[in-house]
Amino acid sequence: MASEKAKSDEPIDSPQAEEEDHDSDTDVDEPEHDQAAGGIDTPGAGSSSQQKKKKKKKSKAAKLLKALKPGQEQIPQTLVDQVLERVREEHGEGVPGTDEEHVRKALEQLKVMDVIKGKAGIAGRGKKDLGAHKFWATQPVPQLGEGPPAEDGYIEPSLPREQVRQDPYPLPKDFEWSSIDLDDPNQTKEVYDLLCLNYVEDDNASFRFQYTAEFLEWALKPPGFHKDWHVGVRVKSNKKLVAFISGVPIALRVRGNVFHASEINYLCVHKKLRSKRLAPVLIKEVTRQCHLKGIFQAIYTAGVVVPTPISTCRYYHRIINVQKLVDIQFTYVPRNMTLARMTRLNKLPTVPRLASAGLREMTEKDVPQVAELYTRYMERFTMSPIMTLDELRHQFLSGLGVGPSPKDWQGRRERQVVWSYVVENPQTHKITDFFTFYSLPSTIMRSPKYDLLEAAYLFYYATDVALQEDTEDGRVKKRLQEIIGDALIIASSAKFDVFNALTLMDNCGILEDLRFGSGDGLLNYYLYNWRTAPLAGVNGLGGTSAGKGVGVVML
């Protein structure tokens, strides 16, 4: 890590950066802390013991309630214990769903609902009033506090090309715009270096995403991509890349409306330049580039809260390499558990359970059948991408890497990014199921022993069990447990340390049964220039089960 620190400290030949200003930057948000809720003296209050006792009790209750406010990273054990005690007093012992884990999750959900309604941030992040969101108040997005729209639709109408701004937005005098050519390995490496040293990291600065050149090639060059949507900012004096934002084309279906949009991602500004307020102008410039191509809607995600999320999903983690994850403090050994027992409980088989029932790697000839299954399956979710054959081929096959398929399910190909498998009925040769996952490692910044966290992320999947008439949810759940369970086995054999998934699609019903644990990370989904009512993500909403509002996996 010494070499990485040296890189991050190298001069960028620009005026010295000031302290960060987060009012408009959307890639970073500084936690805000609430004033203490308890212990406030009332003017003229008496000093009797009864009054003091009452005041003390009120102060204690207020402090406990404060635990549900943004700014608290976890629900305090004291609050959980008090809720458990109250439940036992009223309902007795042994009532299902009243154990410590379920109570803690219920309290967390109270916080999540406030995020969805735009009332609160996440763990204290992004909690700003509308006045602090000066940039987003000027954009065609639903504003905080707005109720559900009477009907879905655009906020601002599309414009003919000649009415779109033709000139780039102005930058500070020391910087210039640059369209990034990802066909050039040198420019791809520049994006890789910028993201690796300056992009998303966890709250404790222990892990940071490490986007490989192969990943960027796969994620940013789908069929029909536009080079002009890969927007960079360089220092004029030395041409160093110091900021980046990307867009790729996507077709979306939202509550029956189908429209073309851009998928905006990888907004990144060099840490030393965040006082230059480059993030808002990056967003405006990539928006202008999309408008020039006739695209006026967009989808994007963020871990922070800005006006206004259409849904919020929670990350879940299935630990695989227990010893390593404990060593790097990604997880810990629970009370009443030993490391050996924890390792044994999370151990996975070496051969997928469906290996003898038609499970194999996806190939080119499977694309038409997989596309048909994907299309029908994804119609079950309120918002989902619509893929052409070429797009599906790119997403599921172009990142398989080079070299032969791993023998006996062990190992991985060189430069492999995505893993794609189908289940083919041996008699009919019909594709009945498929699943995919991708690799996105993270740099480990505070471990003397390890430097890379190998993380797999659940991507798209489908099963025809969900499309059969009179199918019960129990049958769908059982089949998904089988195919996603095999995804875990393949990931383990490919030497991944952890397998991550979000509470979207059908994931909510199977994650805990597959020994996924709830993480503390939340991901907010946003639509630009499109109004729609909130979608079911981490919580069920409007009669839609949790997760089934969101069918878009953002890379």
Beta strands in 225-354 (DSSP E): 230-235, 241-254, 257-269, 298-302, 311-319
- Provide the residue type at 548 as one letter: K
Q: Please say whether the beta carbons of 462 and 433 come within 8 A.
A: yes
Q: Report the alpha-carbon distance of residue 196 to residue 215 in Å, rounded.
A: 12
Secondary structure of residue 354 in the 3-state scheme: coil
Pairing of strands 298-302, 257-269: parallel
How does residue 134 score in pLDDT terms, banded at 50, 70 and 90? confident
Q: Report the alpha-carbon distance of residue 393 to residue 388 in Å, rounded.
A: 8
Q: Report the alpha-carbon distance of residue 229 to residue 184 in Å, rounded.
A: 16
Which residues, other chains included, contact 352 with Cβ-Cβ below 8 Å and sequence gap of 6+? Answer: 359, 409, 486, 489, 490
Q: Which residues pair with 311 in a beta bridge?
A: 525
Residue-level pLDDT at 414: 93
The string of pLDDT tens digits covering residues 204-228 is 667 888 899 999 999 999 999 999 9
Question: Is 79 part of the annotated catalytic residue set?
Answer: no
Element (H, E) at 394: helix 389-397
The string of pLDDT tens digits covering residues 99-128 is 777 666 666 655 554 444 443 443 434 433
Give the closest residue to 423 by CA, choosing from 357, 471, 368: 357
Residue-level pLDDT at 98: 65
Which residues, other chains included, contact 148 with Cβ-Cβ below 8 Å and sequence gap of 6+? Answer: 533, 534
The structure's pTM equals 0.80
Give the active site residue among 325, 373, 527, 555: 555
The sign one gets for the Cα dihedral 6, 12, 17, 19 is negative
Instruction: Report CA Rg, the chain.
Output: 25
Q: Report the alpha-carbon distance of residue 295 to residue 305 in Å, rounded.
A: 24
Q: What sections of 92-206 are H helices per DSSP? A: 100-116, 185-198
The string of pLDDT tens digits covering residues 333-346 is 988 999 999 999 99
Q: Report the alpha-carbon distance of residue 503 to residue 505 in Å, rounded.
A: 7
The string of pLDDT tens digits covering residues 441-484 is 998 988 889 999 999 999 999 999 999 987 777 899 999 999 99
Q: Please say whether the beta carbons of 547 and 501 come within 8 A.
A: no
| Range 409-419 average pLDDT | 94
DSSP 143: P
Q: Please say whether the beta carbons of 550 and 313 come within 8 A.
A: yes
327, 494, 505 from 416: Cα distances, Å? 26, 10, 25
Give the closest residue to 440 by CA, choosing from 405, 491, 486: 491
Residue-level pLDDT at 85: 72
